Every structure is written in C-alpha cells, then in structure tokens.
Amino acid sequence: MSYVNMTMLSNFLKISNSNRPLQRIESIFLLTRRTFSSHGTFDYDLAVIGGGSGGLACAKEAVNHGAKVAVLDYVTPSPLGTKWGLGGTCVNVGCIPKKLMHQAALLGESIHEAVSYGWEVPSPKDIKINWTSLTEAVQNHIKSVNWVTRVDLRDKKIEYINGLGEFKDAHTIVATLKNGSKKELTAKNVVIAVGGRPHYPDIPGALEYCISSDDIFSLSYPPGKTLVVGAGYIGLECAGFLNSLGYSATVLVRSVPLRGFDQQMAQLVTAEMEERGVRFHHKCVPLSVEKLESGQLKARWQNTDTGEQSEDVFDTVLMATGRYALTKALNLPAAGVTVVTESGKISAPTEQTNVGHIFAVGDVLEGRPELTPVAIHAGRLLARRLFAAAPHHMDYDNVATTVFTPLEYGCVGLSEEAAVARLGEDAVEVYHAYYKPTEFFIPQRNIRNCYLKAVAERAPPQQVLGLHFVGPVAGEVIQGFAAAIKCGLTMEQLMNTVGIHPTVAEEFTRLNITKRSGKDPNPASCCS
C-alpha cells in the first residue's frame, strides 16, 4: 500500500471512531479532497507545473503509486501567434512533427529513386510537395495526441489545470487561467517541468518578422526560400527537410555546426547537406531582418572573422539560435528556489532543488540532455522515489540520440574530442570505417559521407566509450548499441558479434581498422 493510502486509512479510522457524527461526516468529505501529512494539509500530494513529456510521465507514475496529482499547463503563444495543446514541445512542436516532416522528405527522395527500381512514376519535374496537405496531416496527428493525453489524465483522475502556474510560497501555486481568473492550490511536493522555448537574437526585425520551430510545423503558407539562423540540431534538421521538400535553404553558422556533438561527424552531416543543395555561411551572425514591400524579408549578416557584411532576400527566416528555460514566470524566489543559472535553468543534480520538496525534470535542468526520453525516464524515477520509496536515480551518462538530417547521425557515449580530453590522446583508440549501404546501390547514390566509428579505451579490454554513425536510419541503428554500451561493451565483444547481412547496423560489427594505424578505412566490397 502506498504512503498516501496508508495515511488516508489511518486518518479515516480516527475520524470514524469519533463520537460526533456531524463532524465525522464533514471530516470524511474533506479527506477525499485534501491529503494530510506531517507538514500540514494540502490539496495534492504532487503538483506538476508543465504538461510536457517529463511532467506527464512523473504525474502518471505518481498516480500509479496512490498519489493525488494535479498538472498545470499553459502555452504562451509564439511571437507569430502560434499556440498548441497539452503534451509539451515534443508532441506539438518538436520530435513528433519534426520526424513526420523528415519522413515526408525521405518519401519524396524515394519517389525519385523508384524509377531506377523499375517503377513507372510521373516525370520528376511534376513531383512536388503540397505544403498545406502536409501541415494539415501533421497537425491532425498532433491534435489526436493532445486529445488522447487529456483523456488519459481524466481516466487516471489527474486534475488538469489549463493555467499558467507560479509560486505564492513553497507549497502554494497560483494558476492564471485563460479567462484571467486565478486558481490557488497547495501541494506537498512540486515538480517543475516547464521546459523551454526558442531564443530570438536581439536584432531588429527578429521578433516582428521571423519564425522558429514553434511555428514551422503549422505554418499556414509554404516557407519558400528560407534562411535558417543557427546550426544546432534543430537548425540543421529544419534546413534539411525544407531543402528536401523543395524549398531553398541557407544556414548561418555562428561557430561550429552541432556544437556538443562529435565534430568529425558534424562535418560529414553538413557536407552531405551542402552536396544536396543547402547553402552554409560559416562564422556568421545575423544583423537585421527587414520586411520589404513585396512581403519578402531582407536579412543582413556579418562574418565574425573578416567583418564582411552580406545580405539576401528570403521568403522566410527561421531562428534556431538556442532555447531558454521558462523559469522567469514561476516566481521561484517566493518558493525559496535559488539554484537558477544565468540561462534560467535549474541546477539540481538529482532533480531536487535547494528546497527539499521542490524538484525539476526535463529541459529546464542545467547540464542535462534536452531529450524527451531523458525527461520521461527521470520523471518516472522521481515519482517512484517520492511515492514508492524506490532508490533509483536517473543515469544521465551514455544517453543515445539522433539528429534527423537528410543523412541521419546517431550517437551514444563520448565524442572523440571528449574522450581525448578526459583520458588523453594516447589512451584512446578510434576504430572507423566508410561503408556502402545496399540501399544506395540502385540508384548509385553518394556514399562519401556514410561513415561510422567506435571510440574506445586503448588498453585491454578496450571498453567502448562512444559509438557514432552517419547514414540511413541512424536512430534505429544506434538504439540497440546504446544498451550494449550501458552493459560495458568492449571492442572484442563488438568484433565477435555476428552482424545481420545486408544491413547498415552490421557495419559496427565489422570495425577493425584504427585511425592510429593509418590504413584505408574504405571497404573493398559490400561484403568485405
């Protein structure tokens, strides 16, 4: 029996034994509405501020262990006016619509390639995307997920409050509802799971005329010629699928592409994108965006090395210059939460803030991977610790991820740079290879950027520190190997694993050439 049920049972028995019938009935009624604890009486055992993946996972798991839970969620419209339903970034303006757009782009490529396999299709010049149909299909799916999420909360008897929550004190939250009215509630425990939103650079025209990933998946008009400002994974993914859908894409790179990822792999990703037609301007920062009489946007930018300024006219300018945590609206000082960084993120290594009963999960955490599965797993584990006395904490090491660029990049563990920085160059061995996906034989597709590597300790048994793969279905490839990394995979074990032929995943089992050896990492044939 959960701690909540035991507490309620104990108090129920005390009330039932009372000699005052009226008081007994009134008290039993109140007990169904509020939870009594040693700290006082609260409306809920747990209040979750933020209805994204991490917050919802925590709330549902808490209910499974007998807790009484409320979830507060409110979406402030983007500068363009875009808003969405319950479910957070991933469902509405992140992973899900991004993957659907990526899939649409892959299907377009497949249609063109089908001719080489004997399919009779219309002339390539007649194949084009209907942007309205695409966005309608994507939004219809998202709305169905929004609905299922709300029904799930209702079925689990989790109170959903469509309001912007902020602290009144350490146990009291005030929600501002859509109509402007206020709703006040108290909770024994609070989880902050508000996530983040796109950052806009402080330049003329950014807020007035530009869009972000909050807007692109429901944009009411075809984006046309697009400038993407920023070369993180969001910027590259958007530029990649827009280009593949037939919309010219240009990317401004301030420093390096895919900062925080293995830079050799990042260079392969951008090289592939350039070969497919995406334009890159390196070491460039935006200066201004001006709306012309034609409705188009004139963007100006500057090269930070040379000082040279350039400009061009676009139909759409998409800002992908990072994200900020939505903590300012929470009134954290009222709750006594002080572990907030300059970026607005919360520093809480074990999800617990400096206030013992206030926790945080997901993208709002400082120094943690901004990934939906990370938030979900951390939220569930936190709920189990709070309401089921479970001992397990989230392990943030060796979390796999994939960048869904036209040629995908999947990785788990340390980058080559991080491994060398941690252990020293002489202590690291890198096994690598180029390979030829069978899918690329007919028609003959570019394979110059199909590459993988294993970063390992040089000393026996050569434990694998990181795996990196650029190629088709990278996410599917890297997921299984992520489990092996968690189990302490060594190079000997990897080399003694029999691959499934012909797949691209088997290429990891065939790694045998090290960078240190200087040997040619190109295969002699598909079966070499």
> Domains in the chain, start-ordered, CATH in brackets?
34-78+138-197+324-387 (3.50.50.60), 88-127 (no CATH), 206-321 (3.50.50.60), 407-510 (3.30.390.30)
Compute CA 389 distance to the chain's CA centroid, rounded to the nearest angstrom.
29
Q: Please state, in angstroms and rounded to a whole number, the distance separating the CA atoms of residues 213 and 94.
A: 7
Task: Give the pLDDT score at 40.
Answer: 59
B/e letters for 410-425, b = 16+ CB within 10 Å, e = fewer, are bbbbbbbebbbeebee
pLDDT of 2 > 90? The answer is no
Tokens of residue 166, six digits? 């902020």
CA dihedral for 86, 89, 93, 95, sign (positive or negative): negative
- Could you read off the pLDDT of 480-514 as tens digits, one per residue? 999 999 999 999 999 999 999 999 999 999 999 99
Mean pLDDT for the chain overall: 93
Weakest-pLDDT range from 140-144, 390-394, 437-441, 523-527: 523-527
| Predicted confidence (pLDDT) per residue in 161-189, tens digit | 999 999 999 999 999 999 999 999 999 99
What pLDDT digit, counting tens, does each position of 404-463 carry? 999 999 999 999 999 999 999 999 999 999 999 999 999 888 899 999 999 999 999 999
pLDDT of residue 63: 98
Do residues 300 and 281 touch, judged by C-beta distance below 8 A?
no
Which pLDDT band holds residue 26 (cuts at 50, 70, 90)? very low
239 residue type, one letter = A
The secondary structure of the chain in percent helix, strand, coil, rounded to multiples of 5, reads 35, 25, 40
The answer to whether residue 30 scores a pLDDT higher than 70 is: no
pLDDT value at 524 more than 80: no
How many CB atoms sit inside 10 A of residue 400's CB? 22
Q: Which two tokens stand for residue 508?
A: 């990891």
Q: What is the mean pLDDT of residues 393-408?
A: 97
The residue annotated as part of the active site, out of 112, 392, 393, 501, is: 501
Please give the distance of CA 412 from its chain centroid, rounded to a whole number: 15
pLDDT band at 36 (very low <50, low <70, confident <90, very high): low
Q: What is the pLDDT of residues 321-352, one digit of tens each?
A: 999 999 999 999 999 999 999 889 999 999 99
Which residues have C-beta within 8 Å of that of residue 242, sequence separation ≥ 6?
223, 226, 228, 249
What pLDDT does residue 194 have?
A: 98
- In this predicted structure, the answer to whether residue 385 has a pLDDT above a threshold of 60 is yes
pLDDT recorded at residue 123: 80
Least Cα distance to 290 among 360, 208, 225 occurs for 208
Do β-strands 44-49 and 182-192 pair in parallel, antiparallel, or remain unpaired? Answer: parallel
CB 437 within 8 A of CB 465: no
Q: Check pLDDT > 90 for residue 370.
A: yes
Distance (Å, rounded) from C-alpha 231 to C-alpha 443? 30
Read off the pLDDT band of 526 (50, 70, 90): low
d(CA 347, CA 382): 16
392 tagged catalytic: no
Q: Place 125 in a pLDDT band, splitting at 50, 70 and 90.
A: confident
How would residue 525 be classed by pLDDT, with cut points 50, 70 and 90? low
Q: What is the DSSP letter of 500?
A: P
The tens digit of pLDDT for each residue in 206-256 reads 999 999 999 999 999 999 999 999 999 999 999 999 999 999 999 999 999
pLDDT at 33 > cutoff 90:
no
| pLDDT tens-digit series, residues 59-89 | 999 999 999 999 999 999 999 999 999 999 9
Q: Given pLDDT bands bounded at 50, 70 and 90, which one contains residue 29?
A: very low
Q: How is the beta sheet containing 309-314 ordered, strand by strand?
A: 284-291, 297-303, 309-314
